[in-house]
């Protein structure tokens, strides 16, 4: 009897311990469930940023003295190595900005272009944002997209095409609004004069430029009204292939700092993704460098055209 009475309190204590452990376990499970619900609610309220929907282009300069003859035509060696055929397209372009390059100073490029002898003018209003580094880091592209969103540019682009450019060491994120207008009365290959160009640009001025937040109302219209023509620049585009990848060689004559005309040769190629474009740039640079053709500088000829 004495032994039985002593065992009853011990059983009661064990049962109480088990009950407390079960209660603690239930409380911990409830706390974890509440935490999961909270994280789910946060994800619902704060969706992850959309990826940048962009095209990707590699732009590299090649030495015109090594790949072109005196008339600006590809040499036999360059044509063979780059699998060049006849020019697929000729074009002529001019740019609009004032003497102080006010538009370009805010990252805007306004271009008037005509392909071959087509009966229309192609207007392009391009907002360009520099990417930190050489463009290899996706996080830097994302950061530039966030900076562009301050000016109402978005990952989907809207009525702007979005493109990441990778050159030798510089990379940019471009948003381009393209418009077309008929060109009655112009001869083949001719572009409109200054007054007509100003009127064209003002007539189709996109809202993002007209309402540029960094400047007062009417700024873009005022700059355009006092703008001058930069150009024209005529360009021949040769389709080709290198390293089993489609590319294009663009040949034009640009005015140098001394005022002389010199040949300018650029190779461009498209990538499907940022990683694809980064690898393609590296491969093309290696091949062109081995041929002795690569110019070790960036290929953004708009800066050269506006600076002359």
Query: Beta strands 55-62 and 161-166: pairing type?
Result: parallel
pLDDT tens digits for range 138-161: 999 999 999 999 998 986 667 899
| Torsion sign over Cα 153, 154, 159, 163 | positive
Indicate the pLDDT class of residue 25, thresholds 50, 70 and 90. Answer: low
Name the pTM for this structure: 0.81
Q: 277 near 62, Cβ under 8 Å?
A: no
Quick one: CA torsion of 299, 305, 307, 308, rounded to 10 degrees?
130
pLDDT tens digits for range 75-127: 999 999 999 988 888 999 999 999 999 999 999 999 999 998 788 999 999 99
pLDDT attached to residue 307: 84
Q: 250 near 59, Cβ under 8 Å?
A: no
Angle at alpha carbon of residue 250, lines to 54 and 91, rounded to 5°: 90
Q: 83 near 76, Cβ under 8 Å?
A: no
CB neighbour class for 284 (10 Å; exposed up to 12, middle 13-18, buried from 19): buried
Average pLDDT over residues 218-238: 96
Q: 151 near 127, Cβ under 8 Å?
A: yes
Could you count the other beta carbons within 10 Å of the beta carbon of residue 101? 16
Token couple for 243:
């390293």
């Amino acid at each position: 009897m004495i032994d039985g009475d002593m065992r009853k309190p011990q059983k009661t204590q064990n049962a109480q311990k088990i009950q407390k452990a079960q209660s603690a376990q239930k409380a911990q499970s409830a706390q974890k469930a509440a935490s999961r619900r909270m994280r789910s609610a946060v994800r619902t309220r704060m969706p992850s940023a959309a990826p940048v929907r962009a095209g990707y282009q590699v732009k590299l300069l090649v030495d015109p003295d090594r790949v072109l003859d005196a008339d600006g035509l590809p040499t036999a060696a360059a044509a063979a190595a780059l699998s060049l055929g006849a020019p697929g397209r000729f074009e002529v372009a001019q740019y609009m900005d004032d003497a102080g390059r006010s538009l370009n100073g805010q990252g805007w490029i306004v271009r008037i272009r005509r392909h071959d002898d087509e009966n229309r003018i192609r207007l392009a209003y391009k907002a360009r944002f520099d990417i930190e580094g050489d463009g290899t880091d996706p996080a830097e592209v994302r950061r530039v997209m966030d900076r562009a969103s301050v000016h109402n540019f978005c990952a989907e682009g809207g009525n702007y095409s979005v493109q990441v450019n990778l050159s030798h060491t510089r990379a940019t994120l471009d948003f381009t609004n393209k418009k077309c207008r008929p060109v009655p009365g112009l001869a083949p290959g001719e572009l409109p004069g200054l007054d007509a160009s100003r009127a064209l640009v003002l007539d189709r001025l996109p809202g993002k430029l007209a309402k540029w937040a960094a400047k007062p109302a009417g700024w873009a219209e005022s700059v355009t009204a006092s703008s001058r023509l930069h150009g024209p620049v005529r360009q021949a585009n040769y389709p080709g292939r290198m390293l089993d990848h489609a590319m294009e060689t663009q040949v034009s004559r640009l005015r140098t700092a001394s005022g002389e005309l010199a040949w300018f040769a650029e190779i461009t190629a498209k990538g499907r993704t940022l990683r694809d474009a980064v690898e393609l740039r590296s491969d093309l640079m290696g091949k062109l460098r081995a041929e002795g053709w690569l110019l070790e500088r960036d290929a953004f000829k708009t800066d050269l055209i506006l600076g002359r």
